[in-house]
Protein backbone atom coordinates (compact mmCIF):
# COMPACT_ATOMS: atom_id res chain seq x y z
CA UNK A 1 0.00 0.00 0.00
CA UNK A 2 1.43 3.40 -0.88
CA UNK A 3 1.84 5.89 1.99
CA UNK A 4 -0.95 8.23 0.87
CA UNK A 5 -3.46 5.38 0.69
CA UNK A 6 -2.36 4.14 4.10
CA UNK A 7 -2.73 7.64 5.56
CA UNK A 8 -6.19 8.03 4.02
CA UNK A 9 -7.27 4.68 5.43
CA UNK A 10 -5.95 5.58 8.88
CA UNK A 11 -7.75 8.92 8.78
CA UNK A 12 -11.00 7.32 7.72
CA UNK A 13 -10.78 4.83 10.54
CA UNK A 14 -10.02 7.55 13.06
CA UNK A 15 -12.99 9.70 12.20
CA UNK A 16 -15.70 7.25 13.10
CA UNK A 17 -16.47 5.05 16.08
CA UNK A 18 -15.62 1.38 15.68
CA UNK A 19 -19.28 0.38 15.68
CA UNK A 20 -19.89 2.56 12.64
CA UNK A 21 -17.17 0.83 10.64
CA UNK A 22 -19.47 -2.10 10.02
CA UNK A 23 -21.81 0.09 8.01
CA UNK A 24 -21.05 2.14 4.92
CA UNK A 25 -22.96 5.34 4.44
CA UNK A 26 -22.83 8.39 2.22
CA UNK A 27 -22.32 10.60 5.28
CA UNK A 28 -19.34 8.54 6.43
CA UNK A 29 -17.77 8.69 2.98
CA UNK A 30 -18.33 12.46 2.84
CA UNK A 31 -16.77 12.78 6.29
CA UNK A 32 -13.61 11.02 5.15
CA UNK A 33 -13.35 13.11 1.98
CA UNK A 34 -14.07 16.46 3.63
CA UNK A 35 -12.01 16.05 6.81
CA UNK A 36 -8.77 14.41 5.68
CA UNK A 37 -6.91 17.71 5.42
CA UNK A 38 -8.26 18.94 8.75
CA UNK A 39 -7.20 15.70 10.42
CA UNK A 40 -3.69 16.07 9.01
CA UNK A 41 -3.48 19.72 10.08
CA UNK A 42 -4.97 19.55 13.57
CA UNK A 43 -5.22 16.00 14.85
CA UNK A 44 -2.65 13.74 13.18
CA UNK A 45 -0.66 13.41 16.41
CA UNK A 46 -3.48 11.22 17.74
CA UNK A 47 -3.69 7.53 16.94
CA UNK A 48 -6.39 6.67 14.41
CA UNK A 49 -9.52 5.14 15.85
CA UNK A 50 -9.12 6.55 19.32
CA UNK A 51 -11.42 8.88 21.21
CA UNK A 52 -8.64 11.46 21.17
CA UNK A 53 -9.30 12.18 17.49
CA UNK A 54 -12.97 12.91 18.10
CA UNK A 55 -12.01 15.15 21.03
CA UNK A 56 -9.42 16.90 18.87
CA UNK A 57 -11.98 17.63 16.15
CA UNK A 58 -14.40 18.91 18.77
CA UNK A 59 -11.72 21.17 20.28
CA UNK A 60 -10.79 22.51 16.85
CA UNK A 61 -14.33 22.80 15.44
CA UNK A 62 -14.02 26.55 14.82
CA UNK A 63 -10.80 26.02 12.85
CA UNK A 64 -12.13 23.24 10.61
CA UNK A 65 -13.02 23.88 7.01
CA UNK A 66 -16.69 24.54 6.32
CA UNK A 67 -16.87 21.31 4.32
CA UNK A 68 -15.52 19.27 7.23
CA UNK A 69 -17.79 20.95 9.77
CA UNK A 70 -20.80 20.27 7.55
CA UNK A 71 -19.75 16.65 7.03
CA UNK A 72 -19.37 16.12 10.78
CA UNK A 73 -22.83 17.58 11.38
CA UNK A 74 -24.38 15.40 8.66
CA UNK A 75 -22.65 12.31 9.99
CA UNK A 76 -23.86 12.96 13.55
CA UNK A 77 -27.42 13.52 12.31
CA UNK A 78 -27.29 10.26 10.38
CA UNK A 79 -26.03 8.41 13.45
CA UNK A 80 -28.81 9.86 15.62
CA UNK A 81 -31.41 8.84 13.04
CA UNK A 82 -29.95 5.34 12.84
CA UNK A 83 -30.06 5.01 16.64
CA UNK A 84 -33.68 6.15 16.73
CA UNK A 85 -34.65 3.52 14.15
CA UNK A 86 -32.77 0.84 16.07
CA UNK A 87 -34.39 1.84 19.36
CA UNK A 88 -37.86 1.82 17.79
CA UNK A 89 -37.51 -1.84 16.80
CA 67/CA 3 separation, integer angstroms:
24
- Using the predicted structure, report yes or no on whether residue 5 has a pLDDT greater than 50: no
pLDDT of residue 55: 95
CA 55/CA 11 separation, integer angstroms:
14
CA 31/CA 69 separation, integer angstroms:
9
pTM: 0.68
Residues contacting 38, CB < 8 A, separation 6+: 57, 60, 63, 64, 65, 68
State the pLDDT confidence band at 47, using cuts at 50, 70 and 90: confident
State the pLDDT confidence band at 3, using cuts at 50, 70 and 90: low
Side-chain half-sphere CA neighbours of 64 within 13 A: 22
pLDDT of residue 87: 84
Amino acid sequence: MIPSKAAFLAIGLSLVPAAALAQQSPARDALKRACTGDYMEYCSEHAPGGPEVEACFKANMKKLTPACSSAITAYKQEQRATRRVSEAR
